[in-house]
């Protein structure tokens, strides 16, 4: 019975992600973010439970990626699409029905440029597929993990809604900014940069200094800047990882 528990938690991740998609499509970004946060919470604990219960399986690995594809891949893509629509003041997906027509179907008008936002979904799928066949990524990640990228994208509408200033709104709803961020996001997801994982073999400060620094800085930044802290936390995470990579190489050469 216990072998099904982690998979059930993974399915809760997928369930939350599916609900988040519905809210994102309807531009309810706050509710979408809540369910993405819940999904990421379940995503963190399914692997932890599998290890604690010693019931890791290939099925669980594949199911985890499929759930992440929705929660941390599809949702941020839809959110970026909707933000680009807002920035261009274009209709998201409009439907027209000719009531005099004898054909009972709808014609869809979809703006082309905002579809660039869905590149995030494509890049997430590619990143997750690579992760599944890469046996090296046990103690670290290659490229930005999809949950971290999802938080980055979801933070944008939350900043607009809860920390609205003229400068912030103008910046975030600039289509060039959003398009640029989309391509940066796609690159980071699949970059060959090693990023440390928040997995503790022990809880000593000496062996986990960089992890504790990130956790403490995250708490401080969230208290001070709220949702605006999330992009800074992602940048800090990348910066600390690069610093750790350089430090590790220097230590290896000195030995």
- pLDDT, greater one: 33 or 136: 33
Do the Cβ atoms of 31 and 85 come closer than 8 Å?
Answer: no
**101 confidence band (pLDDT: 50, 70, 90):** very low
In tens, the pLDDT along 117-134 reads 999 999 999 999 998 887
In tens, the pLDDT along 152-164 reads 999 999 999 998 7
pLDDT surpassing 60 at residue 104: no
Strand, coil or helix: 138: coil
Pairing mode of beta strands 94-96, 107-109: antiparallel
| pLDDT given at position 62 | 86
- Alpha carbon distances (Å) from 175 to 83, 85, 227: 8, 9, 21
**151 confidence band (pLDDT: 50, 70, 90):** very high
Domains of the chain are 2-93+106-192 (1.20.120.1760), 197-255 (no CATH)
Model confidence, pTM: 0.88
Cα of first residue to Cα of last residue in the chain, in angstroms, is 49
**54 confidence band (pLDDT: 50, 70, 90):** low
DSSP letter assigned to residue 132: H
Q: Specify the range with the lowest mean pLDDT, choosing from 41-45, 153-157, 199-203, 248-252.
A: 199-203
Look up residue 66 and give its two tokens.
């499929």
| pLDDT given at position 110 | 72
| pLDDT given at position 197 | 83
- pLDDT, greater one: 55 or 217: 217
Do the Cβ atoms of 114 and 90 come closer than 8 Å?
Answer: yes
Rounded distance between C-alpha atoms, residue 173 and residue 181, angstroms: 12
Rounded distance between C-alpha atoms, residue 13 and residue 124, angstroms: 16
In tens, the pLDDT along 170-228 reads 999 999 999 999 999 999 999 988 998 877 666 677 778 888 999 999 999 999 999 99
Ranked by mean pLDDT, the top range of 27-41, 128-142, 207-221 is 27-41
């Amino acid at each position: 019975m216990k072998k099904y528990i982690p998979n059930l938690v993974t399915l809760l991740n997928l369930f939350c992600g599916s609900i988040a998609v519905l809210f994102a499509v309807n531009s309810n970004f706050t509710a979408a973010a809540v369910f993405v946060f819940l999904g990421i919470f379940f995503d963190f604990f399914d692997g932890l439970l599998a290890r604690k219960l010693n019931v890791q399986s290939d099925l669980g690995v594949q199911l985890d990626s499929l759930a992440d594809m929705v929660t941390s891949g599809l949702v941020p893509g839809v959110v970026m699409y909707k933000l680009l629509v807002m920035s261009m003041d274009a209709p998201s997906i409009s439907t027209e029905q000719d009531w005099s027509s004898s054909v009972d179907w709808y014609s869809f008008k979809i703006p082309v440029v905002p579809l660039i936002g869905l590149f995030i979904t494509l890049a997430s799928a590619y990143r997750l597929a690579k992760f599944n066949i890469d046996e090296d990524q046990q103690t670290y990640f290659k490229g930005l993990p999809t949950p971290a990228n999802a938080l980055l994208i979801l933070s944008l509408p939350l900043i607009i809604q809860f920390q609205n200033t003229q400068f912030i709104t103008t910046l975030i709803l600039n289509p060039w900014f959003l398009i640029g961020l989309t391509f940066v996001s796609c690159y980071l997801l699949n970059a060959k940069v090693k990023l440390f994982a928040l997995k503790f073999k022990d809880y000593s400060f000496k062996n986990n200094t960089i992890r504790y620094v990130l956790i403490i800085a995250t708490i401080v930044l969230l208290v001070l800047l709220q949702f605006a802290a999330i992009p800074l936390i992602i940048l800090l995470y990348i910066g600390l990882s690069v610093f750790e990579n350089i430090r590790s190489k220097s230590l290896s050469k000195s030995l």
